[in-house]
Amino acid sequence: MAVLIDKKTKIIVQGLTGTQASFHTPRAIKYGTNIVAGVVPNKKEKSHLGIPLFSSVKEAKEKTGATASLIFVPAKSAKSAILEAIRADLKLVVVITTGIPVNDMMEIRQELKNHKTLLIGPNTPGIITPQVAYMGTFPDNIHKSGNIGIISRSSTLTYEVVQTINNAGFGESTVVGLGDDFIIGTGFLEIIKDFNKDDLTKAIVIISGFGGNYEIELAQTYKNLPKKKPIIVLMVDNQVYDSDNIGLASDIICHGITTSDEKKHLLEKAGMIVVNDLSSLINKLSTL
């Protein structure tokens, strides 16, 4: 069983004719991903890469039955593209775009409260279910099917964790990159709920990221979940948040919890295992 996407998931690509989308889309299709349409406002062509083009997400959804969108548009156009996908009531939206202004993301987060859309990103490699399908820019050749679910706030570290897990003989059920930006659409909890319902997933690995209160929110709610699978949190960042460099907002958002040691304490108190390096991660996985 796949988490979030499988071969049947019908996917729209917003910004399909752009350079990045034109490069990654054929790779995804070859992998098995079901990309059914592209969306390009004011389009002149009827298709691109053999994929039909539409002027709006609403039209693409109506004509193809799509339930998900992959967004490659530039940062200056990202807000309108994301809001369009949310307001079309797509179930899943994955935003590859980097550099989206904070104010735009705050507006998007507010809009999400009125819809059931799950927003992954921005600044994410996406989602991959190995040997099944993926949405994003993953180096698909490093992934192997297995029973470990991965949720990450660090794109680069994700690849290292995947290779380490594979070398140890495990493999992944699904890998979800939440996004590297300070403000992202979805935190850990909603994805954990999906992994908890997935028969294939034996355990969950969380790769912690710098900044934000996502781990804090998780610690506060995880212990109350009715159904749980073992969670190991990889937290390699011992850096202290510096208000002079990041701004006062970081202290407010983090509720005064400013170091990884403090986050570690809360996560362990909630019942999760916290490790500081890849060797310890594999050792813990081997005991589950």
**Where does the chain hold its CATH 3.40.50.720 domain(s)?**
1-123
Tokens of 63: 């004509």
Q: Where are the alpha helices (H) located in 88-154, listed in sequence order?
A: 102-112
Q: pLDDT tens digits, residue range 68-89?
A: 999 999 999 999 999 999 999 9
Tell me which DSSP letter residue 132 carries: T
Q: Residue 10 contacts by C-beta under 8 Å, 6 or more apart in sequence?
A: 34, 36, 64, 65, 66, 67, 68
**Parallel/antiparallel/unpaired status of strands 35-39 and 47-48:** unpaired
Q: pLDDT > 70: what percent of the chain?
A: 91
Residue 138's nearest CA partner among 110, 159, 112 is 159
**Where does the chain hold its CATH 3.40.50.261 domain(s)?**
139-288
272 Cα distance to chain centroid: 21
Q: pLDDT tens digits, residue range 1-12?
A: 679 999 999 999
**Which residues on neighbouring strands pair with residue 269, listed in sequence order?**
none
The answer to whether residue 246 scores a pLDDT higher than 70 is: no
Rg of the chain in Å (alpha carbons): 19
The fold of 1-123 is Rossmann fold (3.40.50)
Q: pLDDT tens digits, residue range 184-218?
A: 999 999 999 999 999 999 999 999 976 667 888 89
pTM of the entire structure? Answer: 0.92
Class (C level, CATH) for 139-288 = alpha beta
Backbone dihedral angles phi then psi of residue 230, each to the nearest 5 degrees? -60, 140
The answer to whether residue 248 scores a pLDDT higher than 50 is: no
CB atoms within 10 A of CB 190: 16
Tokens of 232: 């190991």
